[in-house]
């Protein structure tokens, strides 16, 4: 069956419940007073969740709404009091714009209304299921247009959730994708979208409807590669830590450390993944800068793999923050473990048997203080980066502010994370007993990539490289010329145009 957006259980109260045009007062029960008779009239065919949310938004925006239902008595109480719920024949008689909010398989049941709908604008808001999208080569909107050739069909509002319609555009996606074969009809629906508080986006002819209907079917398309990358890193680091912390003591010393699998090994793995992911956010920028310096121009495309990598930096950064938060939560749980309590008791017993009245290692105290402080600071800066990546926050910042937060503070977060890792490792990298199965400690592996990035960033700050990179990004080219290669049948050589 076709899929329409799902409405929320209750309507939001507040400023967004007030009409955007009529400015009429809201009744005490939250419903609008009667809409003026001169308000533009709009029809809705359907009485489902999305139809109710659409009627609420239209009424709140000052439109006169007529809803067509097969059973108006049963569904009238579900709609705003200002909306007139009646039979389908009556609902489509006077409005020039009719929203079709029914499933695709029910389109044929509307064919009896063909004469009354002739010359009107039909707005298709439906979405197919994945199975229907694959089976049907014709979009829902195109199918509707084939059933009603005397009408003008417009595809719109299918990417807007029922929540955004009901609660207001400030609480959801603002863009309304619109396509139709008639320019005037698109203009009419675009003006309606603006009146409702949304931003219309012209997607061209009705042939684009299939592409628009595929958008709600995509499940995090830009997150697929970053998530697979994060899971791959987690599996690799987890296996590495399992061999070092669990398998090695069992095989060499016959010590049962398998109790560490659910918590300790996971907590050792999480910061490794978060640290490497954060490094991968800034590595493509370093590679892009190096490539521009080598080419001496910015007018050559990056390789596809680097271009895609640059486009996924936001998702990789948010995943880094996610793993960092999990590491902090897991760390808080470590003292709650029964094994930790046994270790404390055993340490106290050993201290008594050794006649040590006070156990205090100054170097370890300072190391842990610095280690925890750097970790908290790094997580705090990462939180700021995550918040400013949200569209609602990012849109309130100008480019310089956004660049400062995402670039400068992001690099600060990488530096703090590096200090956090170095103070954790301290001298362990040089102690033989920490090389289990001749495998180096995990933190030494995670330090390799960030240190390369920090070193490269430092080199780019040198005046000789910094000035050259700035000139390149402002349009300067190494040869002072743009070279065009003409086809062989026109010209065998190369033609150079000086700029």
Residue 495 Cα to chain centre, angstroms? 45
Give CA–CA dist 55/61, Å, rounded.
Answer: 10
In angstroms and rounded to an integer, the radius of gyration of the C-alpha atoms of the chain is: 31
What residues of the chain score a pLDDT lower than 50? 1-36, 481-484, 486, 489-499
Looking at residue 361, its pLDDT comes to: 85
Give the tokens for residue 340. Answer: 């930790």
Looking at residue 168, its pLDDT comes to: 66
Give CA–CA dist 271/416, Å, rounded.
Answer: 13
User: Contact, 8 vs 167, CB < 8 A?
Assistant: yes
Which of 25, 8, 21, 43 lies closest to 197, judged by CA?
21
Give CA–CA dist 145/141, Å, rounded.
Answer: 6
Give the tokens for residue 127. Answer: 């979405």
> Three-state SS for 296?
coil
> What's the Cα-to-Cα distance from 217 to each of 128, 155, 165, 210, 315, rounded to whole Å?
8, 16, 19, 11, 20
Which of 174, 145, 170, 143 lies closest to 159, judged by CA?
174
> Three-state SS for 200?
strand
Q: Is the dihedral of CA 389, 391, 397, 399 positive or negative?
A: positive
Other beta carbons less than 10 A from residue 474's beta carbon: 8
Positions of E strands within 341-488: 481-484
Give CA–CA dist 30/375, Å, rounded.
Answer: 48
Give CA–CA dist 223/228, Å, rounded.
Answer: 8
Question: Which residues contact residue 2 at a Cβ distance below 8 angstroms, ignoring those fewer than 6 apart?
Answer: 103, 104, 105, 126, 127, 128, 129, 132, 140
Give CA–CA dist 44/90, Å, rounded.
Answer: 11
HSE-up of residue 243 (Cα within 13 Å, Cβ side): 13
Which of 275, 262, 411 lies closest to 338, judged by CA?
262
> Three-state SS for 258?
helix
Give CA–CA dist 479/472, Å, rounded.
Answer: 11
Looking at residue 172, its pLDDT comes to: 52
Looking at residue 498, its pLDDT comes to: 34
Looking at residue 173, its pLDDT comes to: 65
Task: Return the residue matching tokens 């061999």.
Answer: 243
Looking at residue 280, its pLDDT comes to: 97
Length of the chain: 499
Helices and strands in the chain: count of H runs, count of E runs: 21, 10
């Amino acid at each position: 069956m076709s899929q329409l957006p799902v409405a929320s259980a209750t309507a939001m109260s507040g400023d967004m419940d007030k009409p955007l045009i009529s400015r009429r007062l809201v009744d005490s029960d939250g419903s609008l007073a009667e809409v003026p008779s001169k308000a533009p009239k709009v029809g809705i065919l359907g009485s489902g969740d999305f139809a109710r949310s659409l009627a609420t938004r239209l009424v709140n925006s000052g439109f006169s709404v007529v809803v067509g239902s097969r059973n108006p008595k049963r569904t009238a109480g579900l709609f705003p009091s200002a909306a007139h719920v009646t039979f389908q024949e009556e609902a489509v008689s006077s409005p020039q714009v009719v929203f079709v909010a029914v499933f695709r398989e029910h389109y044929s049941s509307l064919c009896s209304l063909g004469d009354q709908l002739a010359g009107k604008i039909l707005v298709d808001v439906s979405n197919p299921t994945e199975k229907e999208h694959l089976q049907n080569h014709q979009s829902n909107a195109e199918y509707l247009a084939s059933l009603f050739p005397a009408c003008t069909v417009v595809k719109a509002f299918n990417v807007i959730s029922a929540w955004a319609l009901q609660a207001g555009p400030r609480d959801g996606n603002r863009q309304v994708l619109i396509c139709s074969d008639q320019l005037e009809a698109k203009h009419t629906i675009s003006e309606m979208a603006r009146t409702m508080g949304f931003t219309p986006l012209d997607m061209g002819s009705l042939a684009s409807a299939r592409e628009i209907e595929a958008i709600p079917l995509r499940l995090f398309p830009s997150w697929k590669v970053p998530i697979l990358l994060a899971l791959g890193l987690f599996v690799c680091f987890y296996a590495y830590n399992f061999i070092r912390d669990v398998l090695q003591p069992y095989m060499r010393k016959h010590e049962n450390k398998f109790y560490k699998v659910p918590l300790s090994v996971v907590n050792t793995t999480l910061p490794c993944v978060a640290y490497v992911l954060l490094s991968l956010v800034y590595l493509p920028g370093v590679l892009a800068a190096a490539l521009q310096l080598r080419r001496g121009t910015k007018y050559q495309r990056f390789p596809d793999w680097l271009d895609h990598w640059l486009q996924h930096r936001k998702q990789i950064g948010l995943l880094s923050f996610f793993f960092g938060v999990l590491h902090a939560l897991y760390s808080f749980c470590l003292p709650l473990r029964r094994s930790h309590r046994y270790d404390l008791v055993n340490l106290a017993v050993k201290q008594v048997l050794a006649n040590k009245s006070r156990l205090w290692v100054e170097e370890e105290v300072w190391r842990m203080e610095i280690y925890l402080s750097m970790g908290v600071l790094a997580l705090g800066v990462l939180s700021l980066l995550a918040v400013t990546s949200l569209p609602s926050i990012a849109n309130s910042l100008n480019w310089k502010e956004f660049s400062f937060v995402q670039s400068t503070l992001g690099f600060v977060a990488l530096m703090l994370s590096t200090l956090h890792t170095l103070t954790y490792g301290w001298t362990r990298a040089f102690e033989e007993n920490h090389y289990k199965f001749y495998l180096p400690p995990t933190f030494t592996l995670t330090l390799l990539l960030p240190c390369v990035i920090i070193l490269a960033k430092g080199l780019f700050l040198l005046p000789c490289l910094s000035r050259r990179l700035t000139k390149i990004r402002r349009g300067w080219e190494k040869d002072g010329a743009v070279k065009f290669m003409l086809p062989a049948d026109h010209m065998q050589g190369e033609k150079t145009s000086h700029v």
